[in-house]
Structure 1
């Protein structure tokens, strides 16, 4: 009994210390960023809901409520324009249909900005407006999206949808984080909350049972990381402890040991045609997983795989190339090289986890409101305040 009491007391102390550290950094972000946060929140407050039902594509095999997108790096075959598309890795085809993804990115930006505005001001009218958007996407029969991604990242002449398309819903991360804040503030009516959680429970079932979901879960690179990142956030929101535990175990036993080299780099990302952007992206996803899942009892920020691999090493490896990109020793990205880095979330999460002011200062000076679409789609965490 004495050992149990000691363990319980230790956990309470650790929880208090962890919460205190997060609060200190949260307060610092508000102090340094409040005008910019409230400016984005004011913009978001003026936006009206716009879901995927506002746009359609004749090439989609789904219906009006089905999310549809086309693979970014697939192009018409110059030999015969009627033949199946061919791949050009890293080179986005501007003619492909991405309107649904753009609508979801807009939704994410609005919800994240409104939740951050509330946290910076305690003005609940921001959350009232966020509820209007959430109901449009997940509750209202005329405008809601179906909870699956069967038709994402299609390829003309090759596939009506692919598991790789699941990465498109990383844009729902800040939507769900905003919903968690709204729930805690008592700003979501019980019926609406039940309907929204039911939507995400259905989507979790699809993500974990459909062949596309299983394929993406087993992806060896950033796609596997992003699958776990989504499932973790949605599982926490819906109270699915089984999937939460699964994601913790997957981070420890699969993602970190399989993807990270002993020096802290991600070799599979460095092999791509956009090695800098993908290295940033995967590190952001890994650290976001740690932010979502870490508890005082199971702190992923301190976990070590294969005796040498830690997320802190991953941050330490990438940080010099963010502080001074000119020192990057690998190939430059084939597209969007000049648009990175921005205020990467791994910097602020790392600052809070390791009390590192250098990370924070670098994060503070970078662009916090990027407008380039490639950056936006690969930066689902744009409002770190709501994660602290």
Structure 2
């Protein structure tokens, strides 16, 4: 009886491994041509860092990232005074050139790393290193490892903790480095300098006033803090940080942000409840994808009252499969632009061998062009994460 039980368990294990590989193979088949086309574009691009453009409203210097808070507008009653908040409504006149440069950089590295993973052709690595050195090594063009001046608000703040969410687009940069770092074309001196940059940024995220405020916030911002620090700590092989983030997910994020039905109440309270619910679920999903280990699998973790990432996906999936079922008001902006090929669908499908979730993922827009969607979709090259 014991031998039969062990044999059955082994068969289940083999089936599970095969199913996960199968989802990865399906993902590769769906994305292959898109990846190679995007990599061909990336091979023709020259580096553009934050030093290419600046704003007179920035309190920082040439090498300091600067952005302005999306939802702040001039006050009609005092046009020259401090900006006022209009939640969910993006001001198109705010300075976002540095954010766009970062997103472009992320797209380039994600495409090149994906193409290298598919082909093992080191021409993609050589091109990636050119861009990486521009952002993190070259003293004339590099970015300082902080976000002290992100999401500033005219008349009231030179930089806010909320702005730290902007560097979620460095996640695919960090993951791309992990994919390419052991190749001959990635020189060790540059790699050491780049990893030192990320280690310095991790330190700033954990010790600065804005970093600590973002870490301890209560909604998607704290989830995104954990998500990106996890990505950077994995690049730096910072095991103590990774351990602390797993604990934070299990004891703070999941218990405090998710309701027992799998929803995120703080996101549902926003004027863009649908988009923010998707965004936060993507963040929670990527936390599980980055931090899970064989000994500490966050995909399998469940709180004492039954909260889990699987419950979160089960809650939101019906509204992604059929948005007409959404029971709240439509989002005040970009309602028609969601959903796209969300990370929670493809990584959830991979983790739980759920073909329905994968089929929905591949039906949705795999390469969105709307700037607001891209801003809230840091994971656009899923193969490098599998």
Counterpart residue number, 1:217: 215
Distance 1:246 1:94 in 2: 38
Structure 1 residues 84 and 356: alpha-carbon distance in aligned structure 2, compared to 1, 3 A threshold: same
Aligned residue among 144, 147, 150 for 2:142? 144
The question of whether the paired residues in 2 share the 8 Å contact of 1:66 and 1:149 is answered with yes
1:213 shift after superposition = 0.4
CA RMSD of aligned residues (A): 1.7
5 Å matches for 1:62-73? Answer: 62-73=60-71
Counterpart residue number, 1:230: 228
5 Å matches for 1:1-388? Answer: 22-388=20-386
Q: Summarize deviations over 1:268-295 as a string: whole Å, max 9, x none.
A: 0000000000000000000000000001
For structure 1, which segment, 127-136 or 13-22, has the greater mean C-alpha deviation from structure 2 after superposition? 13-22
1:14 shift after superposition = 11
Q: Secondary structure at the match of 1:153?
A: strand
The question of whether the paired residues in 2 share the 8 Å contact of 1:14 and 1:296 is answered with no
Q: Summarize deviations over 1:135-168 as a string: whole Å, max 9, x none.
A: 1000011100000000000000000001110000
Distance 1:127 1:121 in 2: 11
Counterpart residue number, 2:4: none
Structure 1 residues 14 and 167: alpha-carbon distance in aligned structure 2, compared to 1, 3 A threshold: farther
Distance 1:20 1:295 in 2: 18
Q: Secondary structure at the match of 2:198?
A: helix
Number of aligned residue pairs: give it.
Answer: 377
Q: Summarize deviations over 1:284-316 as a string: whole Å, max 9, x none.
A: 000000000001100000000133101000000
Q: Secondary structure at the match of 2:90?
A: coil
Q: Secondary structure at the match of 1:96?
A: coil
For structure 1, which segment, 356-365 or 110-119, has the greater mean C-alpha deviation from structure 2 after superposition? 110-119
1:183 shift after superposition = 1.0
Structure 1 residues 128 and 95: alpha-carbon distance in aligned structure 2, compared to 1, 3 A threshold: same
Counterpart residue number, 1:10: none
The question of whether the paired residues in 2 share the 8 Å contact of 1:348 and 1:360 is answered with yes
Structure 1 residues 128 and 22: alpha-carbon distance in aligned structure 2, compared to 1, 3 A threshold: farther
Q: Normalising to structure 1: TM-score of the pair? A: 0.94
Distance 1:81 1:209 in 2: 36
Structure 1 residues 340 and 275: alpha-carbon distance in aligned structure 2, compared to 1, 3 A threshold: same
Q: Summarize deviations over 1:298-341 as a string: whole Å, max 9, x none.
A: 00000001331010000001101111111111111000000000
Structure 1 residues 146 and 310: alpha-carbon distance in aligned structure 2, compared to 1, 3 A threshold: same
The question of whether the paired residues in 1 share the 8 Å contact of 2:116 and 2:180 is answered with no
Unaligned 5+ runs, structure 1:
1-12
Q: Summarize deviations over 1:210-252 as a string: whole Å, max 9, x none.
A: 0100000001000000000011111111011111011100000
The question of whether the paired residues in 2 share the 8 Å contact of 1:76 and 1:84 is answered with yes
Unaligned 5+ runs, structure 2:
1-10
1:21 shift after superposition = 5.5
Distance 2:92 2:47 in 1: 25
Distance 2:257 2:274 in 1: 16
